[in-house]
Structure 1
Amino acid sequence: MSASPPASPPENYDPAEVQLAAAPLVRVVAQVRHPALTALLGEHGEKTALRFAELVSDTYPIFGKTHEAEMVVTSKGLEGRPGQFITWHLKSADELWQVSFNHEFIALDTKRYSGRRDFCDRFDRIVESYGKVVNPPHASRIGVRYTNRIEDQELLERLPALVRPEVLGPASLMPSPSANLQLSFTQAQYAFERYRLLAHWGLLPPGAVIDTSLTPAQQRSFTLDLDAFSDTQSEFCREEVGSTLRDLTKGAYRYFRWAVTDAFLDEFKEVRND
């Protein structure tokens, strides 16, 4: 049994992973950035992208791409036009897993996170296949991001019991008729020995998000967003990237377990049949 959470953000706290069948995760994404590569630009880019896509097509058979938008000044004012850089997207058949890549990064994101081991193993295979085809000279940044969001209004009323008061801040105070808290947002960055962690959390009004790539909640919500990353240059290979990613997932999980209470874990251990 792990020790009790420390009174401040942890570094040596090492809780056992608790499987949360109903975890309020709206997205988990891992990304490796590397130097810009000509192999994924211009005429050669499409061929290279297709070669990589073929290697992972058994798991991610759906192929697509987007062009980065460019704002161009015309006689009619600013106009958005497709840019020269392309990002390719590969999705699983159920579209719950997606691989994205361009000339500067490779990423894996999911809406169906079942634990660190499965997620890291999946990313290992992506990195290995990508390395065979694209062969980046090194990894310049490795990161993983967890976005938790609670939208259940009954649970929001119980936030002071689910999340530590050090994290909640003003949201730890129960609302009153004369002071109904509508927005409370905090950002904190920590430097640990082998990585850094950027944490965002807050009580948000309907339609508000801390990341515009996420679909806004239609009612008020509480978000806990954890981004663990390392900017230390490393070899771009399955072993090096995988080892760093596992350290980062553990670091993010330590912070998550520090931020939430046992009542939070009990609430989300099982799927609720509402």
Structure 2
Amino acid sequence: MVNFNPLTAPPPEEVPLEDAPLIRVIAQLRFPPILSIEKKDFVGSFQEAIRESYPILQPEQTQGFAFSPQGVVPIAPQVTWRFVDTLDNWNWRVSLASNFVALETTAYLSRRDFLKRLENILVALNESFKPASIERFGLRYIDRIVGQNFQDISSLVKPEIAGMVAVDFREHIRQTINESLFIIPDGGEQIVARWGAMPAGATFDPEAIEAVADPSWILDLDMSVSKNRDFHVDELMSEAQHFAERIYTFFRWAVEDDFLRRYGGKP
């Protein structure tokens, strides 16, 4: 158990979980628009650089909207190139649009594996489009607890995190979601932490957290920094390592040792 400040404490040694409840991990980099990314003739080199790991291309066109004095007005549709590892029920996906690139997985293996894949994506982006600067970089880990572990959640996480699900009348609670914003001392980064109980068939973020048939408890940790700066792969990878370690430190602070044991860990 981590009993000190999770925003400043050294990262604890990792405890591998054989049956980790991690349902999705996402890394996203936002940069000033590069319009050529929307044209298929310019995306070929990026596709070739990552095609061995993400061979299936599934382009999407999304319609955006903006607020103006005249009300809500449509803006030009945006093309997002989706590169996935399998045709159905993908485990890994790369998303590329004119102003962002993202890597996400529903089959997380290890920190080292994820960061290596992220580095390959950033190198491909640099070689294909050479973004001059970036605006935001973030990393997000989402855990979902279901079944008996959901029923026992008040004994698996710290009281500060259990909150309302620890009260005597918890069976009457249909939904309770908490959100806190933490600023990392002396770093400029922030962590948005969301946690709480969700009823069956519900979600507070359909893009990242699919609704499931059973009630569940979610722990969603999103660390990021929003700052205009030059694009450098090495610096971004150093940040990604730091983000992953800090998120893990927060996770270890939030859960009890019994949580780790339930999911196959040996604290």
Asked if these proteins are the same fold (TM beyond 0.5), I'd say yes
Question: Of 120, 139, 158, which residue of structure 1 is paired with 2:115?
Answer: 120
Structure 1 CA distance for aligned equivalents of residues 213 and 4 of structure 2: 34
Q: Any gaps of 5 or more consecutive residues in structure 1?
A: 72-80
CA contact (8 A) 2:64 2:78 kept: no
Quote how far apart the aligned CAs of 1:51 are: 1.9
Q: Paired residue for 2:139?
A: 144
Structure 2 CA distance for aligned equivalents of residues 137 and 54 of structure 1: 22
CA contact (8 A) 2:21 2:144 kept: yes
Structure 1 CA distance for aligned equivalents of residues 11 and 23 of structure 2: 24
Question: Of 50, 55, 70, which residue of structure 2 is paired with 1:61?
Answer: 55
Q: Paired residue for 2:81?
A: 88
The 5 Å alignment of 1:1-274 reads 4-6=1-3, 9-41=6-38, 45-70=39-64, 83-93=76-86, 95-152=90-147, 154-175=148-169, 180-192=172-184, 193-194=186-187, 195-213=189-207, 214-269=209-264
**Deviation readout 1:232-265 (Å, 9 max, x if unpaired):** 3343232011111111111111111111110011
Quote how far apart the aligned CAs of 1:38 are: 2.1
How many pairs does the alignment contain? 254
The change in CA–CA distance for 1:165 and 1:204 in structure 2 (over 3 A counts) is same
Structure 1 CA distance for aligned equivalents of residues 26 and 107 of structure 2: 11
Structure 2 CA distance for aligned equivalents of residues 252 and 233 of structure 1: 23
Quote how far apart the aligned CAs of 1:11 are: 1.7
Identity %: 28
Which amino acid in 2 is paired with 1:171?
A: V
The change in CA–CA distance for 1:113 and 1:174 in structure 2 (over 3 A counts) is farther
The change in CA–CA distance for 1:228 and 1:46 in structure 2 (over 3 A counts) is same
**Deviation readout 1:101-124 (Å, 9 max, x if unpaired):** 100011000011112111011100
Quote how far apart the aligned CAs of 1:8 are: 5.1
Q: Any gaps of 5 or more consecutive residues in structure 2?
A: 66-73
Give secondary structure in 2 for the equivalent of 1:58. Answer: coil
Across the aligned residues of Structure 1 and Structure 2, the Cα RMSD in angstroms comes to 2.2
